[in-house]
A and B are shown apart, each in its own frame.
Chain A
Amino acid sequence: MGYPANYRYTKEHEWVNAKDGVATIGITDYAQGELGDVVFVELPEAGKKLETGKSFGTVESVKAVSEIYAPVSGEVLEANPELLDKPETINSDPHGAAWMVKIKLANPAELEKLMDGAAYEAYIAAKGKEASA
């Protein structure tokens, strides 16, 4: 699976797709691969304020729980209702249908600090080399 060039990515494997002051956030294909089959997602309600770098939810597999960290700050407009019923969407379509939250950006400039598609792909390639070393 490719990593959309127009998205931005974090070291904790979240992606952001920003447009007109609204950002859609999810976790990457790499992250879902590491997690294994996702069984449950915990997401914030509309109105909750996200702080960059702070955890705003969790993703669970059978044997592990991972925190999801806010790549940028803002106010939650909507959490993806599909993930409540079908958490497995995160495994099948992590960059599209498995978006997690849509937020109103508090500070669009924060996006500059994140990696672009190419940088992220290089980052996870390096991680791959580390693991097999």
Chain B
Amino acid sequence: MRYLPKSPAERQEMLAAIGAKSIEELFETIPEKYRLRDALKLPGPFAEAEVIDYFKQRAGENSLGYTSFLGAGVYQHLRSVITDTILLRGEFLTSYTPYQAEIAQGTLQAIFEFQTLMCQLTGQEVANASMYDGSTATTEAVLMAERLTGRARVLVARSVHPEYREVLQTYAKNSGLHVEEIGYTKSGTVDAASIKRALKDDVAAVVLQSPNFFGVLETLPGIADAAHAAGALLVVAIAEGVSLGAVKPPAEADIVAMEAQSFGLPPSYGGPYAGVIASRDKFVRQMPGRLAGQTTDTDGKRGFVLTLATREQHIRREKATSNICTNQALCALAATVHLTLLGKEGLREMAEQNFAKAQFALSELEKIPGVKRAFDGPVFNEFTLEFPRSVRTINGELLKEKIAGPLALGTGYPELTKHGLVCVTETTRRAEIERFAAAVKNILSKPL
């Protein structure tokens, strides 16, 4: 087998050196009745070409050839081939967590650069080396707020991604947190008045997302002031990081929980992505996840180490800030390379292109009789439309045109039965937007 660097002769030599007659002897501590006699029933063994063939066949059974208008927390963005050039270097791909700093300076400096980029993007003072994704980062941010305030009530906007809220509920159930949901207004933003009414001195955190799940930008200052006046922390989740190239970062937030998938990570049917928590320096000791810090060696040379490790599970065990061990380091590296390639102007330009494409798509779609913009709040690259009939039936027809249409919002929001979430990015060509609009118009012009 090509992954095993032993010849039969070498195996015999090694057994002899151990003093064992056969490899079976080395498994004698397993009670005999539990030792398998037969080989496992598994497909294979496959030669390299067969492995490739298997996955190419599966790839052909997916959505190749279709144009997608889906966003909702996972975004199709341009991705340089250089990102993989770097990621596929064995010294990055096959290296371990940088606990032995002297032989992991590459990883550690890259993490330090990642932390810096995340601070610059979010307007916060310190950022960690990654969490699993945006949903768990948001949850961990809430748990961090709970530890910092000693309070147990959390107000979460319904305009936060439904899956992020589900994950929060799963974790909250077991940590004594009481999560309350706050509704949204007709502009598609969270109902700030409701938040203010609900804010008492038992609230740990107010949780918003911006741009929110409907694609609308939230207005933070008033809510931040109200939260702070009540001694609560403002947690802002960001699912579409590219927005930060054109939209002001949530500097009023105490903790930002961002999904970094938009920065050089392919959609990959749900993962792996990378979450980030960014916050104020004064909260750093309650921040979960790894942190790379700058230091010097015995010769005075600059170097980097994992630091403040006493927050983590391998030291604090029961009292750790989180149980996270393996994080998303390689994904964070992808984001670092990607953002370094884009640079200041590239990210700005990408964000502006997204914005322009969305405005164009919006204007084309609004021209269709019966199609309305659902919310009047400002949007970035996603927006919610209301249709004259169920989005599911429209999407069924769109599939015949090889278009994956808007996300039907009815499952997550039972009151939004005819609403669909449309996403366009810099990768969506004008011709495709026009074709999509024409197809929708055509579908709606026919009776059901």
State yes or no: do A and B touch (Cβ within 8 Å).
Answer: yes
Q: Which of B307-346 contact A (CB under 8 A)?
A: 309-310, 315-316, 319
Residue in B285, B315, B319 whose beta carbon sits within 8 Å of that of A64 in the complex:
B315
Interchain CB contact under 8 A, A65 and B315: yes
Interchain CB contact under 8 A, B309 and A63: yes
Interchain CB contact under 8 A, B285 and A63: no
Residue in B310, B315, B316 whose beta carbon sits within 8 Å of that of A40 in the complex:
B310
Contacts A60-B310, A63-B315, A65-B315 known; list 7 others, CB within 8 Å.
A40-B310, A62-B309, A62-B310, A63-B309, A63-B310, A64-B315, A65-B316
State in angstroms the CA–CA spacing of A39 and B316 once bound together: 15
Q: Which of A36-74 contact B (CB under 8 A)?
A: 39-40, 60, 62-65
Interchain CB contact under 8 A, B285 and A40: yes
Q: Count the A residues whose beta carbon is within 8 Å of the partner chain — how many?
A: 7
B residues in contact with A63, CB < 8 Å: 309-310, 315
| Interface of chain A: mostly helix, strand, loop or mixed | strand
Closest to A64 in B: B315
State in angstroms the CA–CA spacing of A65 and B310 once bound together: 7
B residues in contact with A39, CB < 8 Å: 310
Q: Count the B residues whose beta carbon is within 8 Å of the partner chain — how many?
A: 6
Q: Which of A8-51 contact B (CB under 8 A)?
A: 39-40
CB of B104 to closest CB in A, whole Å = 17
Closest to A62 in B: B309
What are 7 contact pairs spanning A and B, CB under 8 A? Answer: A39-B310, A40-B285, A63-B309, A64-B310, A65-B310, A65-B315, A65-B319
Mark B190-202 against chain A: 1 for CB-CB distance below 8 A, else 0: 0000000000000
Q: Which of B298-312 contact A (CB under 8 A)?
A: 309-310
A residues in contact with B315, CB < 8 Å: 63-65
B residues in contact with A64, CB < 8 Å: 310, 315
Closest to A63 in B: B315
State in angstroms the CA–CA spacing of A39 and B319 once bound together: 18
Of the listed residues B309, B310, B316, B319, the one surrounded by the most CB atoms of chain A closer than 10 A to its CB is B310
Q: Which of A75-98 contact B (CB under 8 A)?
A: none
State in angstroms the CA–CA spacing of A40 and B311 once bound together: 12
A residues in contact with B285, CB < 8 Å: 40
State in angstroms the CA–CA spacing of A26 and B158 once bound together: 49
State in angstroms the CA–CA spacing of A64 and B316 once bound together: 8
CB of A112 to closest CB in B, whole Å = 33
State in angstroms the CA–CA spacing of A15 and B319 once bound together: 26
Mark B406-441 against chain A: 1 for CB-CB distance below 8 A, else 0: 000000000000000000000000000000000000
Closest to B316 in A: A65
CB of B111 to closest CB in A, whole Å = 18
CB of A84 to closest CB in B, whole Å = 12
State in angstroms the CA–CA spacing of A110 and B116 once bound together: 52
A residues in contact with B310, CB < 8 Å: 39-40, 60, 62-65
Mark B161-184 against chain A: 1 for CB-CB distance below 8 A, else 0: 000000000000000000000000
CB of B228 to closest CB in A, whole Å = 20
CB of A58 to closest CB in B, whole Å = 9
Mark B281-297 against chain A: 1 for CB-CB distance below 8 A, else 0: 00001000000000000
State in angstroms the CA–CA spacing of A60 and B310 once bound together: 7
CB of A74 to closest CB in B, whole Å = 22
State in angstroms the CA–CA spacing of A60 and B285 once bound together: 12
Closest to A65 in B: B310
State in angstroms the CA–CA spacing of A115 and B309 once bound together: 35
Closest to A42 in B: B285
Q: Which of A95-133 contact B (CB under 8 A)?
A: none
